[in-house]
């Protein structure tokens, strides 16, 4: 006896699920996006979970290419085609990556794609399954960043303590010793000797205060996250402010400061940090330039970032110095201070500020010919992005 009951057929006491029954099961999985592709990689079925996650209704997605869910970066790298090729070769392909929704927001998901075969073994298309793991990814990234910051703080701890004990304590000891001498022998000293000691006291105090300011700023990067207030700003306005501040220093040595940046060039960054970044790099370029040299700032867009170049025609530096430039050790910092070339802490500060703003820094230099410092900043507010250095394995247990 045979009769239909709901979405099942009762046949000899065995339940044979219908297509509609399977469809209802798939649509009940709201935390998963499940859809199929034809052999031309066009979407030909779309679950309600897919609508919930991606924002596209079924009639908006069906007929569209597989590209619909991938970021521009992944499309440039041909990720969607690589997934299909792997699925055909190995029976399935798995991944963990950022995908893009209808409203252009990003979410992080693990995914699986496998070929859909017919009863005769012919290829009918493909099935794609995704699960949104954005919140887990955010938590994992927060933990990774916290661990990285702790490791970084530990790495620099000894250097910072050494700076405090050497580059700050030594000048203070010298100041105290000089003052003690003046206190005891001031009445017996010649005027020119007193003036010489006063000059020494002034310079030592000034150097100590400058070093302390650098350390305070560096600490602000590490601990005062509330001070970070990025916004869309015009790059030229901040370069002009720095040039105005440093104009006297540059003019003393007849060093020319100019930029070749379009007025509408904008970046997404914290304004106070940007001023500090530019000022430290330009000041460093001035210190290492010869009389009559030129310091030039230029910029160009690449993908979603602006690359800024600060080029000088000064003394340049060796490969050995460049390798240690952004991870300064005590010896390097102390030698820099003695030579009045105090770039060590300044460049550490710059690196920290750039990382806080989603940028990076590097340098190219030839001894005797000059140096070029390059740094990047995002053009728009950065979206979530997978750290290329982190290999994320497909999590089937999630």
Q: Answer yes or no: do 240 and 317 share one domain.
A: yes
Whether residues 127 and 241 fall in one domain? no
Q: How far is CA 191 from the centre of its chain?
A: 56
Residue 199: pLDDT above 60? yes
**pLDDT at position 374:** 96
Per the listing, tokens 């592709």 go with 37
Tell me how far apart the alpha carbons of residues 5 and 382 are, in angstroms, rounded to a whole number: 54
Q: Give the three-state DSSP class for 110.
A: strand
The 3-state DSSP class for residue 326 equals coil
Q: Are residues 200 and 241 in the same domain?
A: no
CA 13, CA 20: separation in Å to the nearest integer?
Answer: 20
Same domain, 107 and 163: no
What is residue 209's DSSP assignment?
Answer: H
pLDDT recorded at residue 167: 58
Within a domain: 177: yes
Same domain? For 202 and 336 the reply is: no
| pLDDT at residue 170, rounded to an integer | 63
Number of independent structural domains in the chain: 3
Q: What angle do CA 392, 394, 398 make, to 5 degrees?
A: 110
Contact present, 61 and 68 (Cβ < 8 Å): yes
Give a yes or no: residue 261 inside a domain.
Answer: yes
Q: What residue has token string 């006291």? A: 201
Question: Model confidence at 14, in pLDDT bands (50, 70, 90)?
Answer: very low
Q: Are residues 277 and 365 in the same domain?
A: yes
- Check the CA dihedral 106-107-109-112 and report its sign: negative
Please say if the pLDDT value at position 262 is more than 50: yes
Distance separating alpha carbons of residues 311 and 169, to the nearest angstrom:
35
- pLDDT surpasses 60 at 150: yes
- For residue 270, the SS3 value is strand
DSSP-derived secondary structure letter, 380: S
Is 236 in the same domain as 95? no
Task: Report the mean per-residue pLDDT for the chain.
Answer: 77
Which stretches of 125-234 are DSSP H helices? 134-162, 169-185, 191-223
Mean pLDDT score, 14-34: 55
Give the CATH number of the domain where residue 170 resides.
1.10.287.130
The burial class, CB within 10 Å (0-12 / 13-18 / 19+), for 281 is buried
Q: What is the pLDDT of residue 245?
A: 87
Are 254 and 348 contained in the same domain? yes
123-135 per-residue burial string, b: 16 or more CB within 10 A, e: under 16:
eebbbbbbbbbbe
pLDDT at 379: 94
Q: What is the CATH number of the domain that holds 277?
A: 3.30.565.10
Residue 18 is assigned to a structural domain of this protein: no
With a pLDDT cut of 70, the percent of the chain lying above it is 70
Q: Six-digit token pair at 251? A: 């003019």
Tell which wins on pLDDT, 156 or 227.
Answer: 227
More confident residue, 308 or 190: 308
Report the distance separating Cα 398 and Cα 395, nearest Å: 6
Query: For residue 302, is pLDDT > 80?
Result: yes
Residue 78: pLDDT above 50?
yes
Q: How confident is the model at residue 112 (pLDDT cuts 50, 70, 90)?
A: confident
Range of the domain at 201: 136-227
Domain end: 92, 116, 132, which one? Answer: 132
CB atoms within 10 A of CB 173: 11
The 10s digit of each residue's pLDDT in 48-74 is 888 888 889 988 989 999 888 898 888
Identify the domain boundary among 188, 212, 227: 227
In the predicted model, is pLDDT for residue 280 greater than 90? no
Maximum average pLDDT range among 131-145, 288-302, 342-356? 288-302
Confidence (pTM): 0.51
Residue 335 host element (H or E): helix 330-338
The confidence band for 4, taking pLDDT boundaries of 50, 70 and 90, is very low
Alpha-carbon distance of 312 to 176, in angstroms, equals 39
Final residue in a domain of this structure, among 78, 97, 132: 132
Q: Which residue has the higher pLDDT, 327 or 374?
A: 374
- Range from 19-23, 46-50, 174-178, 228-232 carrying the lowest mean pLDDT: 19-23
What does the pLDDT average to over 178-203?
A: 83
């Amino acid at each position: 006896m045979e009769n239909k009951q709901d979405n099942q057929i009762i046949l000899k006491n065995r339940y044979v699920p219908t297509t509609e029954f399977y469809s209802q099961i798939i649509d009940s999985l709201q935390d998963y996006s499940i859809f199929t592709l034809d052999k031309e990689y066009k979407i030909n079925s779309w679950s309600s979970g897919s609508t919930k996650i991606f924002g596209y209704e079924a009639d908006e997605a069906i007929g569209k290419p597989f590209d619909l869910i991938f970021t521009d970066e992944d499309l440039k790298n041909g990720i969607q085609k690589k997934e299909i090729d792997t699925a055909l070769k190995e029976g399935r392909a798995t991944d963990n990556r950022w995908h893009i929704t209808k409203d252009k927001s990003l979410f992080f998901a693990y995914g699986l794609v496998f070929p859909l075969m017919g009863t005769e073994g012919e290829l009918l298309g493909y099935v794609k399954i995704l699960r949104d793991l954005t919140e887990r990814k955010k938590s994992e990234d927060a933990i990774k960043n916290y661990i990285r910051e702790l490791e970084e703080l530990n790495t620099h701890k000894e250097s910072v303590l050494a700076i405090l004990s050497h580059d700050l304590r030594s000048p203070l000891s010298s100041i105290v010793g000089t003052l003690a001498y003046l206190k005891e022998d001031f009445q017996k000293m010649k005027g020119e000797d007193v003036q010489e000691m006063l000059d020494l006291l002034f310079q030592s105090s000034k150097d100590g205060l400058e070093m302390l300011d650098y350390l305070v700023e560096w600490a602000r990067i590490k601990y005062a996250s509330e001070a970070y207030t990025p916004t869309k700003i015009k790059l030229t306005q901040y370069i002009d402010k720095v040039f105005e501040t440093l104009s006297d220093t540059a003019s003393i040595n007849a060093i020319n400061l100019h930029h070749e940046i379009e007025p509408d060039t904008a970046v997404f960054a914290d304004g106070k940090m940007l001023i500090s970044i530019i000022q430290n790099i330009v000041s460093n370029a001035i210190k290492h330039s010869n009389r009559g040299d030129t310091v030039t700032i230029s910029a160009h867009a690449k993908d979603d970032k602006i690359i800024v170049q600060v080029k000088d025609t000064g003394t340049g530096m060796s490969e050995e110095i460049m390798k240690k430039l952004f991870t300064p050790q005590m010896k390097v910092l102390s030698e820099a201070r003695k030579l009045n070339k105090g770039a060590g802490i300044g460049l550490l500060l710059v690196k920290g500020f750039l990382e806080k703003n989603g940028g990076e820094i590097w340098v190219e230099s030839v001894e005797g010919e000059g140096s070029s410092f390059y740094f990047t900043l995002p053009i728009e507010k950065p979206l979530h992005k997978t750290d290329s250095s982190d290999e994320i394995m497909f999590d089937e247990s999630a």
